[in-house]
Structure 1
Amino acid sequence: WVELPPETRADYQTELRQNHRLLLEPARGPQPGVETHLPYLALLQKALAKRTGVESHLTRSSHPEMYWVDLPTPETTLRIGFSHQRIGAYPSRVVVAAVAAVVLASLLTALLLARWLTRPLARMTRATDAVGLGDLPPPLPETGPRELQLLARRFNHMARDVRKLLESRTTLLAGVSHDLRTPLARLRLSLAMLPDSVDSSLIVDIERDVESMDRLIGQHLSFARGAAPEPPQPCDLGEILDAAVADVRRQGAQVVWQTPDHCIRSVPVLALRRALANLLDNAWRHGQGSATEVQLDCAPTQVVVRILDRGPGIADDERERVFEPFQRARHARAPGSGLGLAIVRQLADANGWAVSLHRRDGGGTEARVEIPTQT
C-alpha cells in the first residue's frame, strides 16, 4: 500500500475485496468492535506481529460480523477487515473439540494403563486361589513395573515352598499310616487265630476298635492329600447315592432313601462319592440310632443333596466351626477325629460346591450339598 501510486490504490482495494474478501482502507476513528481473546485469534495476532514488527490487536464487530486489525504505516494507519466466515472452523468449537480429544485420549491412556497394571494382579489372584486349594499354578510372569516383578517373584517362591511343605506333610503322614496299619494288620491276624475258648464278644469289641483306628488313619490321610479339582463326567446321581446308601447300610445304619428317576448330570464322581460317604457316616454316628433320611433335588442347573438326621443338633455358632479340621460340636457323643466335615468342605471348595449345615424341624441336623451341574 505504501509503495503503490495513489491512483492505483483504489484498484488494489477492489482486487482484495473481490478476490480475497479482504477490506483495506485508511483507519478513520477508533477500531470497531471489541477485543477478543480466543486461542486461534491470539495465534493470529502473534503471527501478524511477527510479520509486521508491530503489535496489533484483533477486534470483532457484530454488524457486520467482521474481524478488524489496525496496522500503522509511515503515512497512515491501515485498517484491514475480513469476515468471520473466512475462519474455516468456529474457534469455540475447535477449543471444545480439542478439549474433548484430550479428555478422550487421557481416558484411553488411563484404561490401557489400568489394564496393564491390573492384569498381573488378576493372574496373581487366580494363582492365590489355586494355592489355597493345594494346587501349584504355573509360575507367574515376572514382568511389568518393578514392584509387580518383585511381588510375582516372591509369590512364585512362596508357592513352591507351600507345595514342598504339602508334599512333605503327605509323605510324613503316609509313612505314619503305613507304620500304624502294619501292626493293625497283625492284630487282625492275631484275633483270627485266637482259640474258640476266648470270649467272642471281646473279640468283636477289639475288631470294632481296630476298624475305628483304621478309619481314623484313613481320614487323616485323606485330609492330608488335599482335594485337587476333578473334571466332571456324566453320571446318574441316583446311582451314586444308591451305592453310598448301600455302603452305610452294611455298617448297620438305617437310611430312608427312595431311588429317584434318572438324574443324569456332569459332576466330579469320585469327589462326590467321598463327600457323600463322609456325610452319611457323620449322620449315622451322630443320629442316636434314628434313621437317616436322604433326599435328592435334581434341577436342570443345580443338584441339591440333603442328608437329615435326628441327632442332638448343632448350635448356630458352631455350624461353620465344625467344618474346620479337628473341630467337633460341644454335644457330640460319637467318637471321631473331627475330620469328616473338614474333608467334605475341602472337596466342596475344590469343585465349586456349597456345603452347609441347617437346623432340622423337630430336632436334628440337615447337611446340604449344592452342586452346580451341566446337563
Structure 2
Amino acid sequence: MPDVSPDIDLIRSRLLAWYDAHARSLPWRAAVGAPRTEPYRVWLSEVMLQQTTVPHATPYFHAFTTRWPTVSDLAAAEDAEVMGAWAGLGYYARARNLLACARAVAGEHGGVFPDTEAALLALPGVGAYTAAAVASIAFDRAANVVDGNVERVMARLFAVETPVPAARPELKRLASLFVTDERPGDWAQALMDLGATVCRPKSPSCGTCSVASECLGLATGDPARFPMKTKKADRPHRRGAAYVLIDDQGRVAVETRPEKGLLGGMLGLPTSDWATGEPIAAAPVEADWREAGAVEHVFTHFSLTLTVMTARVDADGDYRWMPIEAARAALPTVFAKALDRASVPDLFG
C-alpha cells in the first residue's frame, strides 16, 4: 500500500453529496431525506441480494412483499410456499433461514425487528453483513456494512495489493475508518451505489467519480486490477439423470428433496446421484424410458450435466403429481430446465 493515504473526511463529504444527487431508486429503499425504510423490507432485500443482482431480485422482492406484506405474514406461511416462491434465487438454505428469522421476529419480538446490530445478529440465519446492513439502513445505526461493492471501492481507494480473499479483513478495517454517527445509513448505501454504478468491476467510470482525486488505485494508472484476485481452482463437473414421469392426466411427478444438502427442502424431479464420474442412473420405476437430451447448469461450486429421461406411467403414492405449468413455476431452475427439455406436451403425441 502506498505511503500516502486518502483523505477520509473529504471522501465522506464528496460521496454523500454525490449520493444526495444520484442515489438509485430501488423498491426497498427510502428516498434521500424520507423516513427510513421499514426494517422488514431492508432485511428481505439484503437476503435476496446476497447471491444475485438488483434486476434479478426486484421481481422476487415485489412478489414476496405483495404476498407477505409483513414479517408476521411471512412467518405464518407454509414452508413449501416460501420455497416455491424462492425458486430461482439460489442457495435454498437461505430461504429456510429466512423463515426461521421471520418466525423468531414474529414469535419472540412481537413482529418488530430489534434495532441494534448485536440483537439482529442473534436472530437465526442473520450473519454479520445482514445485521450491519439492517442496523445501518433501517435504524441509522453506525455499522460497518461491507459487501462486494464496498470491498472493491476500498481496494481501489487504498490500492490494496493483497489478493482476496486474504485481503478481506484489511478491506473491512479500511471501510470501518469511514463509519461515523453522521448519516450512517446513507453512507452505507452511497458506498454500495458507488461500487454498483461507477466503481464497477470492469471499466470503472473514473472520469465521473466524485472521489477520484483521492483514489490510490487510479493513481497507479490501472484501477481495474484492484481488488487483486487469487486464481480460482477449476470448477468440478458432475453428471446425473433427471426423470420426467407423466401420468395419464398429463401431470408430472415431483418430490421434496431432503432438508440437508443442495436444494434442500425444495421440490425436485426424481434424479440419480450427481457424480464427478459416470453416474449410476437407476430409474425410479420400471417404464418405457426415452432419452430427451441433456441440460447444463452451473452451481457455485460445480457445473452439472443432467440427462433427461421421460416416461408415461400410472400415478402412485410415492410422488406428488402436479400440472406441468404449476410444476415449472415451483421447481428450482435446474429442474425447470429439465422439464422444458422433455418438451412434455409433445412427448407422447
| TM class by smaller structure | under 0.3
More strand by share: 1
- TM-score normalised according to structure 1 size: 0.19
Which structure's residues are more often helix, by fraction? 1
TM-score (structure 2 length as normaliser): 0.20
User: Which protein has the larger Cα radius of gyration, Structure 1 or Structure 2?
Assistant: 1
